[in-house]
A and B are shown apart, each in its own frame.
Chain A
Amino acid sequence: MSCTNLGTPEQEEQLRAVTASLKGTPGAIMPAMQKAQGIYGYLPFAVQKLIADDLGVPLEEIYGIATFYSQFALVPKGKNRIGVCMGTACYVKGSAQVLEALETNLKIKTGETTPDGLFTIDATRCLGCCGLAPVLSVNEHVYGKVTAEKIPEILNNYRN
């Protein structure tokens, strides 16, 4: 019987292999969670529960970590992950307006994913290219000197 909660049989097999290889290792929780996030793209209840049971740690401990670090997601991320830099330089150069334009355009809030699964917006820490402020990243690509007006054009690169 395939368990839909744990994704495809391949995903479940991969996850079980991860926890089996880490069981008994000190400090196994973070690596297990990172690998699970790699397999599923996010950490749903069933995945966290399996990690908790297999590693013998409380579910709440896993969940606490998952909600502490922004690298972990509790809901599936979109196909294209937009990160708007909220670092000091970008912020003073207007990244808040950029973020607002994105939210308006995509009709979602920061941290959310569009219903079609195409975009997720995240507010990020400094991306390390303050000279181009304000910057945003889409997946691995970085856009510099972004303005609210440029948003529709940038998004169109990822539609269709």
Chain B
Amino acid sequence: MENVKMINLKINSLPVSVPEGTTVLDAAKSIGITIPTLCYMRKVNEIGACRVCVVEVKGARNLVASCVFPVAENMEVSTATERVLKARRTTVELMLSDHDNQCLSCMRSTNCELQKLAHDLNCDQHKYDGAVNDYKKDTSSPYLVRDNNKCILCRRCVAVCSKVQDVAVIGANARGFKTHIGCAFGRDIFDVPCIACGQCITVCPTGALTEKDDIDIVRAAIGDPQKTVIAGTAPATRIGLSEEFGLPAGTNVEGKLVSALRLLGFDKVFDINATADLTIMEEGTELLHRIKTNGALPMFTSCSPGWVKYVETFYPEFIKNISTCKSPQAMFGATIKTYYAEKCGLDPANLFTVGVMPCTSKKFERLRDDMSANGKQPDMDAVLSVREIARMIKRAGIDFVNLPDGKYDAPLGVASGAGFIFGATGGVMEAALRTVVETLEGKPLEKLDFKAVRGMKGIKEATVTAGGRKISVCAASGIANAKAVLEDIKSGKAHYDFVEVMTCPGGCVNGGGQPVRNAEKLNFMDIAETRAKPIYAGDAKNKIRKSHENPVVKALYEEYFQYPNSHRAHEVLHTTYAARKKYKDI
């Protein structure tokens, strides 16, 4: 850092000094001026295309796009002159001219970046009334809806799909006024190798991309007196949800979430952190078995369904490396419909399991083959993202922020810190290591923190020694990073025993079912890290920090599964995978 040259300039007559290479946007931010942006995503979509961030630079002939324009010595910038505001207003008005301005009935109303800009800039919605495109909604998938009538062609979704996830199933098709975001040959999203990660939804500034809303299915089940409706909350949901209610990002609202779910009419509220612990028992045992028997290594984690679908579609040769363990959500559903139904004398046909998830891919996972432990009903009956749960709570008039803290129901109500950290990248790995290393060492582990696999780096490596053997591990998040790891394994450059992959960058804290990320969250904060902090804090203060010490998990084995990887555990808690064609017909 010592050799960084500082550049002196003036922004709105105020002197600013920033390192060389800083953009005007960032320089302005450093003195408390937020220039609005729309298409800009730091490091991901720096295309300077939408022209919303334009500013006046003295001596420059045209207004410049501040998101990509670097500062220069003695530069004089004005961020809010009449000329600038007029240009921004015209730009947004042109967007509105071909936009389905149905704000009153739009899922993103009050949470839409276009709406906010139009309001802030005092736009006239009808300034440029004229031809309007009329696109068919894509409702083909069980996890997302694309409504191009609300698309402003910012390409944030395209950038995240191709650069962050390296899946690249969406792009700009056609030209000029007919330009639209879509898939090859105008196919539906469910007819191309989309991995259902939902990252596109969380970066969409408007209502063009939304999750497939399953609120009505859940409400119908709640209203059905025959049904016992059971919610299970994933680790990262209790963090992300706070943002939907105006609380600071990174607030843990676990207790309020439990109370809200009860008020919504769920008969039981369980914690999927507990079945994350169960996952560790099964997955850790599977890893030890693979090591002992020279099975397929490295073993890959299987809790992130987008990743599983990615391997099945793009790297089928690695299917044998994926742990056969179901995800914590599927283990939850499977346990409810077998063990819990038997224990309580309930007909599993009358149990309705709802996953409360930071994820859209879980909506897809629910419908996979081999996701029915009792062979009759699906493990999970519905999956709601954090955004859907927030809408349900608001719709029911629940004063979420002032709710008292509720406690989870028994038996799946106690979880270890290891189960909680599943919500952040590296968390599954750390949780597994706590159990695996202790098992191999045959004595209590002294140091529970495996800091090498923590943090927001895309690829993290570590080697631990246990029982006289070295275990080489890797944790990757974001599919582009996972792909790099796969290629390194393939070429023999990297050798691992165990690899954790989270589909979304940063893990479930940044999942496709979490609150959407506006320009501020995308560009001026590390939202994944912010949301991960309370998870590690929760782990640190939990009295139980190892999955195998969770009394709930012990009871599950004593009463039902006998021991990890037992025949019954295999039947209920494990699944199968199969290669997928990228396109159905070819």
CA distance A62 to B183 in the complex (A): 11
CB within 8 Å for A68 and B175 given contacts A58-B162, A60-B169, A60-B170: yes
Residues in chain B near residue A69, CB distance under 8 A: 175
Contact A68 B184 (CB under 8 A): no
Distance in angstroms from A3 CB to nearest chain B CB is 10
Contact B175 A58 (CB under 8 A): no
Interface size on A, residues (CB 8 A): 16
Contact B168 A58 (CB under 8 A): yes
Is there a chain B Cβ closer than 8 Å to A104's Cβ? no
Q: Report which of A60, A63, A67, A74 forms a contact with B175, defined as CB distance below 8 A.
A: A67
Distance in angstroms from A46 CB to nearest chain B CB is 7
CA distance A48 to B184 in the complex (A): 10
Most buried by A among B170, B172, B185, B192: B185
Distance in angstroms from B146 CB to nearest chain A CB is 14
Interface readout for B155-169 with A: 1 if CB under 8 Å, 0 if not?
Answer: 000000010000011
Distance in angstroms from A153 CB to nearest chain B CB is 34
Q: Report which of A5, A45, A58, A61 forms a contact with B185, defined as CB distance below 8 A.
A: A45
Residues in chain B near residue A74, CB distance under 8 A: 185
Is there a chain B Cβ closer than 8 Å to A49's Cβ? yes
CA distance A46 to B171 in the complex (A): 19
Residues in chain A near residue B586, CB distance under 8 A: 5, 45-46, 49
Closest-by-CB residue of A relative to B585 is A45
CA distance A64 to B183 in the complex (A): 9
Contact A60 B184 (CB under 8 A): yes
Most buried by B among A61, A64, A69: A64
Contact A49 B173 (CB under 8 A): no
Contact B171 A63 (CB under 8 A): yes
CA distance A49 to B174 in the complex (A): 18
Range for the number of chain B residues in contact with chain A: 10 to 19
Is there a chain A Cβ closer than 8 Å to B245's Cβ? no
Distance in angstroms from B203 CB to nearest chain A CB is 17
CA distance A48 to B192 in the complex (A): 14
Is there a chain A Cβ closer than 8 Å to B128's Cβ? no
Distance in angstroms from A72 CB to nearest chain B CB is 11
CA distance A5 to B162 in the complex (A): 27
CB within 8 Å for A63 and B169 given contacts A45-B586, A49-B586, A68-B175: no
CA distance A21 to B175 in the complex (A): 30
Q: Report which of A5, A45, A48, A61 forms a contact with B171, defined as CB distance below 8 A.
A: A61
Residues in chain B near residue A62, CB distance under 8 A: 184
Residues in chain A near residue B170, CB distance under 8 A: 60
CA distance A111 to B326 in the complex (A): 51
Residues in chain A near residue B583, CB distance under 8 A: 49
Residues in chain B near residue A45, CB distance under 8 A: 184-185, 586
Residues in chain B near residue A49, CB distance under 8 A: 583, 586
Interface readout for B92-115 with A: 1 if CB under 8 Å, 0 if not?
Answer: 000000000000000000000000
Is there a chain B Cβ closer than 8 Å to A59's Cβ? yes
Interface residues of B in 179-228 (CB under 8 A from A): 183-185, 192
Residues in chain A near residue B192, CB distance under 8 A: 59-60
Contact A58 B174 (CB under 8 A): no
Contact B174 A60 (CB under 8 A): no
Residues in chain B near residue A67, CB distance under 8 A: 173-175
CA distance A151 to B408 in the complex (A): 79
Residues in chain A near residue B171, CB distance under 8 A: 58, 60-61, 63-64
Distance in angstroms from B179 CB to nearest chain A CB is 8
Interface residues of A in 96-153 (CB under 8 A from B): none
Q: Report which of A46, A58, A59, A64 forms a contact with B172, defined as CB distance below 8 A.
A: A64
Binding site for B on A (CB under 8 A): 5, 45-46, 48-49, 58-64, 67-69, 74
Q: Which 8 pairs, one residue from A and one from B, show the smallest C-beta to C-beta distance?
A: A58-B168, A63-B184, A60-B171, A64-B171, A59-B184, A60-B184, A67-B174, A68-B175
Q: List 4 additional A-B contacts (Cβ < 8 Å) besides A60-B170, A63-B173.
A: A49-B586, A58-B162, A60-B184, A64-B172
* 28 A-B contact pairs sorted by A residue (CB < 8 Å): A5-B586, A45-B184, A45-B185, A46-B586, A48-B185, A49-B586, A58-B162, A58-B168, A58-B169, A58-B171, A59-B192, A60-B168, A60-B170, A60-B171, A60-B183, A60-B184, A60-B192, A61-B168, A61-B171, A63-B171, A63-B173, A64-B171, A64-B172, A67-B173, A67-B174, A67-B175, A68-B174, A69-B175
